[in-house]
Copies of this chain bind each other. A is one copy, B any other.
């Protein structure tokens, strides 16, 4: 019947020469389409003569054949593709996480699609509505739990920089946030700081709650006290305002511990507007060690997170889940980068404050 093709509804478009299919390659090489599939899929060992295989490869090259992924995905029922959900793009932490995850994905021949949860739009609209590919698994970094609510329940999920408890994640990979805060606190204590203010991020993700808790714990039972906590949106301008409030405390704090380098940058601006020098009059610490930390002057003392390692470990965990293994939670070590924004608490007005 001549009507065989009219069912498809595909207009024959002569302007775009149809992209070659496996059948075209087969015809060109004088073999069957199945042989093409075997050869190009690398499973021809002991099933196809190497001469034929060569012919097929030549034909594919010749026609500039590229397999149709949609067809492959349909047939296989999997796509070998993972989604990485992050709350923001222009942030080295996430770009480093992505780099690590992408490297491991490449090594395992997996695709990785990056989904920046639309900033400002909260909570994230269903990532899967707008994600074009079918996915085998999801990695989510530093996301507030609500933002993941739309997440399709039956996909393997690995969470990064997130609450290890109480989620439906198959695995969690975290930098040791608490240890980072502890190191910050110890560093400041060793420099003689006793009045410490916390510039905290008003973001609903676990990582910031955890930072606040860790700071409080690290200071508890020491001779230093947390004189105030000022919350702010995660921006330089917000950090400036919050730090301005913190510096208005009387007697003023000698050190500002910030939840993030962006906030710390704002804190530095605030200190200077008050006429304070950094670090002689006030010390400032950041968190994350973004590129920004060393772009500032003085450079920020901050906590270096193993972002690439977090991404890589997370991807390995997801691969484990996909292969049916039961990966466990990982906690990766962090480091304190001591730089110019912290110094001895010299000019304290009230020397013998606490004696505990």
Residues of A whose CB lies within 8 Å of any CB of B are 10, 16, 19, 66, 68-71, 73-74, 77, 79-81, 88-92, 94-96, 98-99, 102, 105-106, 111-114, 116, 118-119, 128, 130-134, 152, 154, 235-237, 262, 265-266, 268-269, 272, 291-292, 294-297
> Is the CB–CB distance between B132 and A69 below 8 Å?
yes
> Is the CB–CB distance between A114 and B111 below 8 Å?
no
> Is the CB–CB distance between A268 and B297 below 8 Å?
yes
Residues of chain B within 8 A (CB-CB) of A105 are 130
> Is the CB–CB distance between B90 and A94 below 8 Å?
yes
Residues of chain B within 8 A (CB-CB) of A116 are 95, 98, 102, 114
- How far is the CB of A209 from the nearest CB of chain B, in Å? 24
Residues of chain B within 8 A (CB-CB) of A154 are 16, 19
> Is the CB–CB distance between A111 and B95 below 8 Å?
no
> Is the CB–CB distance between A295 and B297 below 8 Å?
no
Residues of chain B within 8 A (CB-CB) of A88 are 95
Residues of chain B within 8 A (CB-CB) of A90 are 89-92, 94-96, 291
Complex CA–CA separation, A99 to B92 (angstroms): 17
> Is the CB–CB distance between B79 and A236 below 8 Å?
no
> Which 3 A-B residue pairs are closest in the complex by CB-CB distance?
A111-B132, A70-B73, A89-B95
> Is the CB–CB distance between B98 and A134 below 8 Å?
no
> Is the CB–CB distance between B297 and A269 below 8 Å?
yes
Residues of chain B within 8 A (CB-CB) of A266 are 295
Q: Which residue of B lies closest to A90 (CB)?
A: B95
A98-B89, A236-B291 are known contacts. Are A77 and B113 too (CB-CB below 8 A)?
Answer: no
CB-contact partner of A113 in B80, B94, B133, B272, under 8 A = B133
- How far is the CB of A52 from the nearest CB of chain B, in Å? 23
Residues of chain B within 8 A (CB-CB) of A268 are 297
> Is the CB–CB distance between A66 and B19 below 8 Å?
no
Q: Which residue of B lies closest to A70 (CB)?
A: B73
Residues of chain B within 8 A (CB-CB) of A81 are 132-133
Complex CA–CA separation, A13 to B236 (angstroms): 52
- A–B complex contacts, Cβ < 8 Å, 26 sampled: A69-B132, A69-B134, A70-B70, A79-B132, A80-B132, A90-B90, A90-B91, A90-B96, A90-B291, A95-B116, A98-B116, A99-B118, A99-B119, A106-B130, A111-B131, A112-B132, A114-B114, A133-B133, A235-B291, A236-B295, A269-B297, A295-B295, A295-B296, A296-B296, A296-B297, A297-B297
> Is the CB–CB distance between B269 and A66 below 8 Å?
no
A114-B116, A262-B295, A295-B296 are known contacts. Are A128 and B66 too (CB-CB below 8 A)?
Answer: yes
Residues of chain B within 8 A (CB-CB) of A94 are 89-90
Residues of chain B within 8 A (CB-CB) of A265 are 295
CB-contact partner of A70 in B119, B134, B295, under 8 A = B134
Q: Which of A70, A99, A235, A265 has the most CB of B within 10 A?
A: A70
CB-contact partner of A132 in B16, B113, B152, B297, under 8 A = B113
Residues of chain B within 8 A (CB-CB) of A235 are 291
- How far is the CB of A19 from the nearest CB of chain B, in Å? 7
- How far is the CB of A201 from the nearest CB of chain B, in Å? 15
Residues of chain B within 8 A (CB-CB) of A297 are 268-269, 272, 296-297
